[in-house]
């Protein structure tokens, strides 16, 4: 747990903590209250939060109970136990604070909720919105097609795991780690660290080749599982390792042919920049050839 991060909102400091294991941000509630209600200092913000917390408890809200405490650095340089909230809890808290600054958050929440209902009725909307989002982020068309295909492959794998009695959540995460480790030599967390990622999605920061090998590892795991029907979590772990090794063989063969490592430390922004530069260089070369 890192507890020395400062996030700025309208030039006002909000203390945060990053939990690498849970992949979760925690925000100082007092700091958020100070920003939303424009309190003159931390003492007034703490008093406001104390009153609000009591009111929420009386109303039967579980939010005050669910919020955690972490030692965050105070203005005097020392660390004190401070009430903190996750991103999800923070959005719920903001809905209880009468503040003009809270409105953009409330509108955003309403929009997300509406889109989620629409996607439940018509799942194709999920694909359309994902396509639009990736295009806005500057990903190439070929990369987007591979990424959307990887989502389908992943869904087929999790459906197979569900059929084998694997529990969603922790067991899915462990099996994913085993697959990733088998083909890349790293756990998911280690892979993210290599690319300098925290909360970001690892696959959104993979090159086309990395995505393809991930798909090969997962579809191989799914096919082996469907053929052998492993019973119990430990048997599924063995299958996950075998599926990952199929992609490892492909990776090693490709690296032997190219003399270059498939695994890259570049994140999405760096990969997109490299692609853009390549396109520009190709365009310039083509123009010179014409001349």
For the chain, give every domain's residue range: 2-111, 142-290
pTM for this entry: 0.56
Q: How far apart are CA 41 and CA 99, in angstroms?
A: 17
Q: Quick: pLDDT tens for 116-165.
A: 545 444 555 566 667 777 777 777 788 888 888 888 899 899 999 999 99
Q: Which residues of the chain have pLDDT under 50?
A: 1-3, 108-109, 113, 117, 119-121, 274-281, 283
What confidence score (pLDDT) does residue 56 get? 83
Only one residue has tokens 């050839």, namely 289
What confidence score (pLDDT) does residue 50 get? 87
What confidence score (pLDDT) does residue 109 get? 46
């Amino acid at each position: 747990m890192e507890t020395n991060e400062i996030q700025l909102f309208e030039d006002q400091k909000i203390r945060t903590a990053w939990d690498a294991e849970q992949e979760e941000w925690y925000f100082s509630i007092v700091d958020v209250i100070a920003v939303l209600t424009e309190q003159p200092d931390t003492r007034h913000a703490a008093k406001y939060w104390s009153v609000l917390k009591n009111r929420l408890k009386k109303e039967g809200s579980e939010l005050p109970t669910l919020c955690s405490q972490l030692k965050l650095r105070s203005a005097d340089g020392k660390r004190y136990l401070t009430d903190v909230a996750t991103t999800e809890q923070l959005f719920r808290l903001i809905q209880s604070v009468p503040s003009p600054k809270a409105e953009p958050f409330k509108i955003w929440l309403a929009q997300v909720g509406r889109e989620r209902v629409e996607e439940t009725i018509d799942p194709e909307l999920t694909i359309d919105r994902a396509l639009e989002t990736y295009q806005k982020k500057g990903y190439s068309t070929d990369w987007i097609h591979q990424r959307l295909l990887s989502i389908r492959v992943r869904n087929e794998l999790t459906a197979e795991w569900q059929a084998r009695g694997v529990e969603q959540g922790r067991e899915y995460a462990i099996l994913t780690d085993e697959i990733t480790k088998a083909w890349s030599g790293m756990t998911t967390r280690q892979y993210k660290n290599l690319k300098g990622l925290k909360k970001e999605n690892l696959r959104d920061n993979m090159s086309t080749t990395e995505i393809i090998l991930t798909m090969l590892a997962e579809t191989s795991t799914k096919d082996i599982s469907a053929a052998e029907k492993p019973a119990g979590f430990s048997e599924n772990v063995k299958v996950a390792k075998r599926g990952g090794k199929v992609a490892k063989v492909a990776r090693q063969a490709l690296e032997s042919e190219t003399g270059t490592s498939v695994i890259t430390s570049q994140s999405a922004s760096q990969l997109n920049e490299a692609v853009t530069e390549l396109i520009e260089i190709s365009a310039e070369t083509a123009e010179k050839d014409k001349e």
